[in-house]
Amino acid sequence: MTWTSWCCWTKWRDSSESERKLVSNLPYEGLKPKNQPNRRYAGNAIKTTKYSFWSFIPMNLYEQFHRWANLYFVGIAVLNFVPAVNAFQPQVALIPICIILSLTAIKDAWEDFRRYQSDRQLNGMTCLIYSRSQRSFVERRWKDVRVGDFVRVLSNEIIPADILLLHTSDPNGVCHMETANLDGETNLKQRKVVPGFSSTNSSFEPLNFSSIVICEKPNDDLNHFNGFLEEDRRKTGFGIENLLLRGCTVRNTADASGIVVYAGHETKSMLNNNRLRYKRSKLEKKMNTEVLFCVLLLICMCLIVAVGHAIWLQTFSSVPIYFVPNSDGTFTSAVLSGVFMFLTMIILLQVMIPISLYLSIELVKMGQVFFITQDVDLYDEEKDTRVQCRALNITEDLGQIQYIFSDKTGTLTENKMVFRRCTIMGTEFPHEENAMRLAFLAGEMDTDEEVIYQQNRREPLFSLEEAQDGPEGANAHLPGHSSLHGSRVTAGAPSSRAFSSPLETEVILDHTLVQLMEEEEAKPYLDFFLAMAICNTVVVSKETARRQRANERRNSSISWSPLECLEVLFGRGTCFQRLSMFLTRNRGSLSEPIHMDPTDSPVYDVPTFSGSVEGPDEGDNSPSNCRATTGRVQAGSSSVAPEEVCYEAQSPDEAALVHAAKAYGFTLLERTPDHVTVRLPSGKVLEFKVLDVLSFDSIRRRMSIIVRHPRSKEIIMYTKGADSGIMERLRNTFEDRRRVESQSRDVAIKTQTDLDMYAKDGLRTLCFAKKVVSEQAYMAWQVKRQEAMSAISKKEELLMDTADDMENNLTLLGATGIEDRLQENVPETIQALREAGIQVWVLTGDKLETAVNIAYSCKLLDQRDLVFTFNMENKGACKTMLNGILQELLRNGSLESEASIGLVIDGRSLSMLLDDDLQMQFVQLCTHCRSVLCCRATPLQKSRVVTLLRRRLKVMTLAIGDGANDVNMIQAADVGVGISGQEGMQAVMASDFAISRFKHLKKLLLVHGHWCYTRLANMIIYFFYKNVAYVNLLFWYQFFCGFSGTAMIDYWFMIFFNLIFTSSPPIMFGIMDREVSAYMLLQLPELYKRGQHAGGYRRSTFWIAILDAFYQSLVCFFVPYWTYAGSDIDIFTLGIPMNTVSLFTIILHLAIEIKSWTVVHWVIMVGSVIVYFVVSLVFSALCVSCNPPSDPYWLVQEQVADPMFYLVCILTTVVALLPRYTLHALRGTLVPSDHLKARQKDQLPPHHRDRWLREYRSLKELCASFPSMSSSTVPQDTTQSPSTPTVPLSSSTRV
């Protein structure tokens, strides 16, 4: 927490008010700060730095000393200053810990300096603040903004604070805001002026503002904001739709003005600016246990030396002459000397606790992250994105995943919603030609089908492509047209807008539906398409002006689109007559463009004007009227010319529906807070006055818009939502038996049948309904609605109650089926993950039938699976079925081996299974299931499922999703993966890793996860071995020096040994070693299972490494000791060969463990030996008096000149490494591991290797076809996933 945010928190804590009250600062301009009414609120200056110039050293040291390892080594260094226990020169003992602390401090200082530069740049940005003295907006810096100031933001400028919108340049009081900097979503959001505050025809005068702003206290909720303006006891409520958020950008609006309600660290964006969560990896937790074992081992060794020293002293009958007395002439007792020796040995053997291990792990993880992000296979060329590693400290957890929890929409599917088919008033329209087009674009058609499609292909009646991209064939002869666009965009090509590819925007019309629309009684179809066009939150903007400044001069030239020309051609007659004319002229092939000769068609002048548009009279079909309305352009509003229609949708579902309505001629032209404008196929423009919008929420599962019809002046509510949210609100459909109600009941039954068919086909379904509301009923409801809008406490509940009161007695219009295709290689990825022993769960909000269909398509479920479906209404039935399945599984043990078990659960049943009394049985059942599919799951239920499995089963979990509704699930898992898809970046910002496609998860886990885990596990084990092997040299020497704590190796060499000589090889080992190639890991997913059960880092592996270290240290000590026994060499001359053979042994030990050699390996390994000799020779030549009274001057040169030295080094190294080398040779020959077999197969010629892989896969498929046979003949690991056949890698025919 920064100092500024701490001060803010203190102010909030001390305040007794439950809400924020603020007034304008203008009457108090020029007064001292203590006289300002809003002085207690935070300023707008941002401070994200942790340190100041004076506080850096104490605060940084304070933070570093929170690590127990740093405290331990500082304590050892301080202990060395005590004369009675010191082992070396006190100043020398400080060098290692000082180097570690200094390197960490330099890194922290650099990071904080970069934050300081960012803060300075941000605080120095300019904005416009109203000044009372100058009576105008003047330029000031961001840090000068205060709560209560009036700020004006121009187009394309970043909003400096959270501002309550009071005025915009738009006549409709609308401001468009882009929130990409906040949540990653590039679509525009609409904000509107506080209702009834500012007149659109008058200029904004901040001096006239006399209201009191009362709002909620600062919080981090980006989707909710409550408050009201109070003036003369009159309250005007406002919400999040009236708030401009700091960090967002104003778009398509010349200027917007308002009063600042939150500033600086109190803004919603800053309160959401949390740092990355620190997660401790599973391997790190185990490592801490091993460190504790090393501490216990160190204490035991020190106790042995202390007891030995006390016993050794007692063996003297008299005090030897070389004993130094105390200052008072007395000698220390043997027991006290033993205590002192214990502390001395703690200092001498401190390297037993690896001080450089933690720093080396950080460097290794940084290297691993670098190679992950540079993998070209994880790069998405279409989106130009690569994998992101947002949590640097859990890379090895990728290699230990046991459960994956995945979202469906946007994660397994493309989230490119395509209008597929619809049902209107009980009549289903399959849109077969549209289905053929989708199959053709997806490349899924056979050659014969493709020929049929090309022959019968029909374009949309009003193609969005023609309206926006302007193909040459349609525009070559149009008056005033200039060819500005390129060739047609292919399906799947990237677009500048979300949900705008041709795959999503084009719809081929259903011929039967068009014929029905030609009939006189076509009002239900009109209502259905009007509901599709206006019941949404789609924002209409200009393609030419999007993302541009509003004050730039627009091009005055007029370009006609094919849509305008069609309207001119069919300027007379009703909309259905014009549809008939078009179909008659083009019945042979609707795919042919309309060619117009400029000499045969008149040139019409298209005037532009501003002002409100009333719907033209039905009898007035003059071309001039049509041209005037269709050519309408308003400056500063979202109204656009037809050729410039550009939709900004917040969800792909809404975009697909609006484009489908447009294909049938119902074009959404303009949306403001006050009205919605739609052009009919006839060219007539209807402007609906918007009375209220009931926004969508996950509880109601529907949204509604209340409008006044421009013709009949009726109040109509159009509603869309899930079938579960619409069908239960219909008007007595299933109760009343009268004829009218019977007809409605038949429509509902037929529609429900069609919905079930859509769901079985894997389509996403939405229902549409309408309701005509009387004036009296609406006015009474509006009073309740306004009271709810003005409330601060429980506002959401009150608004939901008013929505429920209105959304009843609905009349069903129809339903739509929207297709969301699977992403590329999703079935293959799921199959590979399951072969790797990973359980895959899918948690989705879709209805059960749709989710089941997708589950079979992506191979989550198989046709041979035994699937249990939980879709109960009450808890008793759910409990009965749960206990019955468990009893059957326990009674019939072969059931699980004969068939794979799948589980399908709907939202209501899931909430029951998550209750405390059913959790244990539910978890027990899940352990028997190969696949689990949860439907209609809420975001909270998703996170609860992940948390339940992670805690109860003690398994490593991974959650993957792409939307804001997946954030809770991602944060609840051990590893969170976000997909940068169509729904913004909220999932990515909450994740530990981010990818662009689900298929990338395969290589991320099976390859990089396996590598990261194996490398780090081996490096940590090697680090413990290295330190124990080296420290034990000093321990063995104590048995020959009276346990006196004497070291036969110069302390400088001991420092250099860990910091220079042996530091680089293990780091290189942890970054670059490859046990198995990426190709083999992808071809053999079974190799991933070892990491799931800690196969690379077992407790036995640790103790074997420690025992090997003890053995090697014995050899490295006693072989040189016995060689030089009886000679007159000094202590350091004995220590030099011991130090050298220890280096050789440790380096060559690592060489045995390395699985893949590269040039980098050779350079670092050989370079470490060369550096050792160079530093040793230089140090020995320069150190004349470095460690008196014994100095290593010229000792290394003498040893190098002695042939005995080389003989000792070679013999000792061979004897020390012989057991480990022999063990590796025997294990590789007699009981080779699967990884060794895979590595051996990878070394075969490519054609032999591929043939072996084909044979192995064939055998594995055979065993999968007969699970009972494979389970009875092949021993299985009890910890692997259920019903997963195991095939030994050696089972296949040898090549």
The residues assigned a catalytic role are 407
Please tell me the distance from the alpha carbon of residue 969 to that of residue 463, in angstroms, as a whole number.
40
Token pair belonging to 612:
């409100």
Q: In 3-state terms, what secondary structure has residue 167? A: strand
Helix (H) or strand (E) holding 767: strand 764-773
In angstroms, what CA-CA distances link 958 with 596, 838, 970?
59, 10, 8
User: Residue type at 1145?
Assistant: T
Q: In 3-state terms, what secondary structure has residue 413? A: strand
Rounded to the nearest 10 degrees, the angle between the axes of helix 1010-1037 and helix 1131-1153 is 160
Please tell me the distance from the alpha carbon of residue 531 to that of residue 526, in angstroms, as a whole number.
9
The residue assigned the tokens 């001057």 is: 1193
Write the DSSP string, 308-359. HHHHHHHT-SS--TTPPP-TTS----HHHHHHHHHHHHHHHTGGGS-TTHHH
User: Residue type at 811?
Assistant: T
Please tell me the distance from the alpha carbon of residue 720 to that of residue 511, in angstroms, as a whole number.
25
Of 276, 272, 270, 275, the closest CA to residue 46 belongs to 270
Strand boundaries in 788-857, DSSP class E: 811-819, 839-843
Token pair belonging to 820:
């969301």
| Dmax (CA) of the chain | 131
Q: Are strands 234-238 and 227-231 parallel, antiparallel or unpaired?
A: antiparallel
User: What is the chain's Cα-based Rg?
Assistant: 38
Of 429, 452, 425, 428, the closest CA to residue 440 belongs to 452
Burial of 1018-1038, coded b for 16+ CB within 10 Å and e otherwise, reads: bbbbbbbbbbbbbbbbbbbbb
Rounded to the nearest 10 degrees, the angle between the axes of helix 623-630 and helix 562-569 is 160
Token pair belonging to 8:
């803010």
User: Which residues have CB under 8 Å from 487's CB, separation 6+?
Assistant: none
- How far is C-alpha 773 from the geometric centre of its chain's CA atoms? 44
Please tell me the distance from the alpha carbon of residue 267 to that of residue 264, in angstroms, as a whole number.
6
- Contact, 191 vs 6, CB < 8 A? no
Query: Residues 1214, 1215, 1217, 1221: what is their CA dihedral angle, to the nearest 10 degrees?
Result: 90
**Exposed, middle or buried by CB within 10 Å (0-12, 13-18, 19+), for 453?**
middle
The residue assigned the tokens 């990818």 is: 995
User: Which residues have CB under 8 Å from 167's CB, separation 6+?
Assistant: 173, 193, 198, 204, 256, 257, 258
**Exposed, middle or buried by CB within 10 Å (0-12, 13-18, 19+), for 1135?**
buried
* Angular region, 701: left φ>0, alpha ψ -120 to 50, beta rest: left
Q: In 3-state terms, what secondary structure has residue 668? A: strand
Q: In 3-state terms, what secondary structure has residue 147? A: coil
- Contact, 532 vs 768, CB < 8 A? yes
Burial of 1241-1276, coded b for 16+ CB within 10 Å and e otherwise, reads: bbeeeeeebeebbeebeebbeebbeebeebbeeeee
The residue assigned the tokens 């003295």 is: 133
Residue 566 sits at the vertex; the CA angle it makes with 561 and 567, to the nearest 5 degrees, is 100
Please tell me the distance from the alpha carbon of residue 363 to that of residue 1067, in angstroms, as a whole number.
7
